[in-house]
Amino acid sequence: MMENHLIKPDTRNCKRSRELEPQMPDSPQLSSLGKSDSSFSESSGLFYKDEALEKDLNGAMSKDINLMMSSYAKILSERAAVDASYIDELDGLFKEANTIENFLIQKRELLRQRFTLIANKLHR
């Protein structure tokens, strides 16, 4: 009789657990499906918002980068123009120095010729 008593509560517990099992999983599954659908729609809404925000940020960053690059290109262009003007100025200075050097060489030759004439006149 004890064995029957032990078996009966076990079968009752099993029946109860079996009866409760289909109800428990169905309820959470249904509620979780409902939640997952709503959470999916919420997450997909957030995904689209994040995607739109990312596009906006990328667009703003792209504009900022383009602005910085054009500013940098302008500065480089101005610097190249200044460097080119320095090169032109240096070329002008070298040409002027070369002209002065040639003039001084000619003057030296003229002075040498005059001194030679004066020395020849003195020796006579």
pLDDT in tens, 88-116: 999 999 999 999 999 999 999 999 999 99
Q: Tens digit of pLDDT for each residue in 60-69? A: 888 889 999 9
Maximum C-alpha span of the chain: 168
Interior/surface letters 88-106, b for 16+ CB within 10 angstroms, e for the rest: eeeeeeeeeeeeeeeeeee
Q: What pTM does this model have?
A: 0.42
